[in-house]
Amino acid sequence: MKENGNFFDSLCSPLLSQTYDEIIVSPSTIDHEIWIKVKLDDKWGLYDQKGILELNISYEEIILE
C-alpha cells in the first residue's frame, strides 16, 4: 500500500493546483491499480498509475473501463 501512497502523493500537488468540478478516485483493488478521474467544464480527464492525464475523454469511455 505504500506504493499507492507514493502514487497519490505524486498526483496531489498537480491535482490540487487546479480547480475541478468533480474528482473521482478508484476503489482499492486486488491488483492495486489506481486511477483518478477529473471533470472540468463537462470534459473528463484520467490520471493512471503512470501519472498520465488523458484529456477530453467522454464519460462513457470512463465508465466502460
Predicted pLDDT at 16 = 57
Nearest-angstrom CA–CA distance, 51 and 29: 18
Predicted pLDDT at 1 = 39
Count structural domains, the chain.
1
pTM of the model: 0.47
Instruction: Indicate the SS3 state at residue 18.
Output: coil
pLDDT-flagged residues of the chain (< 70): 1-18, 28-33, 49-65
Predicted pLDDT at 2 = 42
On the CB side of 28, CA atoms within 13 Å amount to 5
Predicted pLDDT at 51 = 66
Give me the helices (H) in 1-65, please.
2-16, 59-63
Predicted pLDDT at 41 = 80
Predicted pLDDT at 17 = 62
Domain that holds residue 7: 2-63
